[in-house]
Structure 1
């Protein structure tokens, strides 16, 4: 299970998501960035920043 916590990228944001596939976590995180943080253009660097912050919950448990 992959997890992304928005607060690791946007300090103070409590939003997080989990999914089996990294691609789904990234998709959800990008949608969150658009709706909650007003990002209209999602650059490749933003996607890279999201990917770097995705954790594997199987390892963390």
Structure 2
């Protein structure tokens, strides 16, 4: 299981995103960013999502 707290990445986001894969966490973070008004998802933003995603212990 992977987790991303998007509060420090996407202004106005207080959501913690969890999914079975890092790719799914990033995909959900992109959806969340678009819902909060981000029209363009930059490579730097994607890198932030990947860097801040943590793997939870089993």
Q: Shorter-chain TM-score: what band? A: 0.7 to 0.9
CA RMSD of aligned residues (A): 1.7
Q: Distance in 2 between matches of 1:43 and 1:11?
A: 15
Asked if the contact 1:30/1:42 (under 8 Å) is kept, the reply is yes
Q: Counting helix residues as a fraction of each chain, which structure ranks higher?
A: 1
Gaps of 5+ in 2: none
Corresponding residue SS for 1:4: strand
Residues in 2 aligned to 1:54 and 1:26: alpha-carbon distance in whole angstroms: 8
Q: Deviations over 1:3-46 (max 9, x none)?
A: 0011131366321111111100000000100102x100101111
How many aligned residue pairs are there?
58
Q: 1:25-36 maps to which residues of 2 (within 5 A)?
A: 25-36=25-36
